[in-house]
Amino acid sequence: MTYPRCGFAALPQGGAPSGPAKPDPSRLPARPGKRALLVSVACAFVAWPAWCTEKPLWELGAGVGLLRLPHYAGSDQYHGYALPLPYLVYRGEIFKADRDGARAVLFESDRVDFDLSASASPPTRSEDNEARRGMADLKPTFELGPNLNLTLQRGANWKLDLRLPVRAVATVQSNPRFVGWNAQPNLNLDLARVGGSDWNLGVLGAASFATRRVHGRIYDVALVDALPDRPLYRAGGGYGGAHVTLAMSRRFESVWAGFYTRYDRIDGARFEASPLVRRKDNVSIGFAVSYVFATSRTMVDVADLP
């Protein structure tokens, strides 16, 4: 079964809360033109009104996020964070910031997207972690790399994607240090208007793989750090565990709210035997709320399920 673009079929199949159907009319220039006029007319007369909408080019807001995260996968201790949270949505042709995160879109079609995506991890002070007492602190990291998205199937209010991100990992410090590579292939299911409500639901299942230095940054125990209850250890590269994430979000007029929880398991990971591993599973949770105080006057046509 094929899935037509917005406005070009009498019975369009929808996108998902994670983003627009691919490709979508948000890639059109905001100024009037033949192509923009064609899509606007098609959306008005052919496609479902809930499926083809006009939205601001950008939206800006601010709020707060509450997080509870493990010090690292396999740790038995947790960080609690209360952080200011910027809210930014940008629906440009190349640069986008939306439910899928901030990224630069390099290629986009009905079934395949290729972009650059980023990720990050917080620091851990060893004085706050019993397993790492006396060891060097874990610096925060920044990750950047290509991401291939394949749409496997979609319906009126749902979409299933296979995502294949590969990112370079570097420490964030006065002299950043390249650490290695990280890959997290995952299946992502997005559902819009769950149970007829205005809530959106995303479920993601992923496996992690990384080079030896990425694992070793956290789980190695050097000779100088070895103790009777913390023997010398060298982590290997390869499989690094799996996780499942569930996220829900909703827009209330000028207020956005979201919640997520993530469950990690490291059974069979290449660092599972490290003395710094104190448990085989972790649960992370987070809640955020933002007030949207500014929107662009420039509108763009999007094929989007809110």
Answer yes or no: is 12 within a domain. Answer: no
For 42, the domain range is 25-303
278 by Cβ neighbours in 10 Å (0-12 / 13-18 / 19+) ranks as: middle
Distance in angstroms (rounded) separating the CA atoms of residues 60 and 99: 14
The structure tokens listed for 75 are 């740790």
The structure tokens listed for 6 are 């917005």
Answer yes or no: is 10 within a domain. Answer: no
Answer yes or no: is 2 within a domain. Answer: no
Answer yes or no: is 160 within a domain. Answer: yes
Distance in angstroms (rounded) separating the CA atoms of residues 99 and 25: 17
Domain count, the chain: 1
Answer yes or no: is 18 within a domain. Answer: no
Q: For 207-257, write each residue's pLDDT tens digit.
A: 999 999 999 999 999 999 999 999 999 999 999 999 999 999 998 989 999
* CB atoms closer than 10 angstroms to residue 79: 17
The structure tokens listed for 62 are 């601010």
Answer yes or no: is 7 within a domain. Answer: no
Answer yes or no: is 60 within a domain. Answer: yes
Q: For 135-152, write each residue's pLDDT tens digit.
A: 999 999 999 999 999 999
The structure tokens listed for 143 are 């990750």
Answer yes or no: is 132 within a domain. Answer: yes
* CB atoms closer than 10 angstroms to residue 195: 7
What is the CATH classification number for the domain harbouring 190?
2.40.230
pTM: 0.76
Q: For 35-76, write each residue's pLDDT tens digit.
A: 333 333 333 333 333 334 677 888 899 999 999 999 999 999
